[in-house]
Amino acid sequence: MNRVSYFVLTIGFTLFFLSCKTDGKDENVTSSVSIDSLVQTRYQKLLEYPLDSVGFPRSYNLSTDEIRKVPSRDWTSGFFPGNLWHLYQLTGNKAFKNRAQEWTSFIEKEKFNTGTHDMGFKVFCSFGEGLRISGNEDYKSIIVESAKTLSTRFNKNVGCLRSWDFNQDVWEFPVIVDNMMNLELLFEATKISGDSTYHNIAVSHANTTLKNHFREDASSYHVVVYDTINGKVKDKVTHQGFNASSAWARGQAWGIYGYTMAYRYTKDAEYLAQAKSSASFYMQHPNMRDDGIPYWDFNDPNIPDAVRDVSAATIVASAFYELSQYDNDSRYLEYANKVMETLKTEEYILGPEVQAPFILKHSTGNWPRKDEMDESIVYGDYYYLEALLRKESQ
């Protein structure tokens, strides 16, 4: 081989390797840009979803391309307006604000619905977020009226708000750990109205739940059944977990978030201690996945082939951003940041071709009923967006 040919060959190889190296950098940049673009596309799908006063989007099945719609009386109805409020705060785009106001207005009639304990989920995640973000004073009276309605479910003998009304022949007075989340409505109603009744009911409920819902390892039962006369515990069972003694992932999330939130309003050290203990159980569980997204129940015998629950992960991530403000343990921020990085991938974000008004995949609703299994669920998006806002404010 002559010198000229050798020189040309050497230059060729050099350019080839440089090209490969440059392409690698471009690919990483493109990947980052494409994910950000994908996220924005998903946001736009929520904005474009047509108004429907009796059809709030609850979940989406990717395999059947079907959107599950529910009326305002469904416990999940407030999350979609809440998502729009969050997106307005995240983007500054007033189109999200206008859409949020329209969807929120459809829920106002629920302020008189005495047949549900989920008034907080429905009213506070819509009107409450609207008040916080827009300052609309008209929302205050709706929040207070809703708290007044929710208070009718309080039993002084038990010291709690009744959760469900069904299955009364088996459950005399059921209280689920999820109900901790509805206390925020009561706490805020007292701040708005000055009437301490709502705050006192919330504290009583939190104290009773603290006493009876948690095991020695800080995990939570799902349902505690009470006697309405003497207030004593009659049974501890599950309705959505694998069994009565298992650790249903979203139930653990509700407990962590609920007591972190309750500490915000009361500064009760026992509430903070429970949030931290439950957080340690959750993070350190041997069946927690490396990416921070839990299986739907930590005790499912099908692990590692069990379905995941993104909604549990987003609830905890959002709670941990707040919890990190009350405790110097770096694990809370580390876990929350890991979850947010995990979710910002094509593995968890719906593709641009999907027309449904959802962002994330792989949440699980009710495994025992095989309902909303490994789907996009509205409250998974809600706490994801809330976590993004809390992360930005760190």
Catalytic residue set:
118, 178
**325 SS3 class:** helix
Two structure tokens written together for 322: 């707040």
The 10 Å Cβ neighbour count of residue 70 is 17
Distance CA 82, CA 122 (A): 9
The residues near 98 (Cβ < 8 Å, ≥ 6 apart) are none
The 10 Å Cβ neighbour count of residue 176 is 22
CA 32 to each of CA 24, 44, 158: distance values in angstroms, whole numbers, following the listed order: 13, 19, 53
Contact 248, 178 (CB under 8 A): no
Tell the burial category of 73 from Cβ atoms under 10 Å away from its Cβ (0-12, 13-18, 19+).
Answer: middle
Radius of gyration for the alpha carbons in the chain, expressed in angstroms and rounded: 23
Give CB contacts under 8 A, 24+ apart, made by 111-114.
111/142, 111/145, 111/146, 111/149, 112/145, 112/149, 113/73, 113/149, 114/149, 114/152, 114/153
Nearest Cα to Cα of residue 254 among 208, 206, 319: 319
Distance CA 70, CA 61 (A): 15
The 10 Å Cβ neighbour count of residue 65 is 10
CA 295 to each of CA 63, 248, 272, 340, 364: distance values in angstroms, whole numbers, following the listed order: 20, 9, 25, 17, 9
Half-sphere exposure of 214 (CA within 13 A, CB side): 27
Tell the burial category of 121 from Cβ atoms under 10 Å away from its Cβ (0-12, 13-18, 19+).
Answer: buried
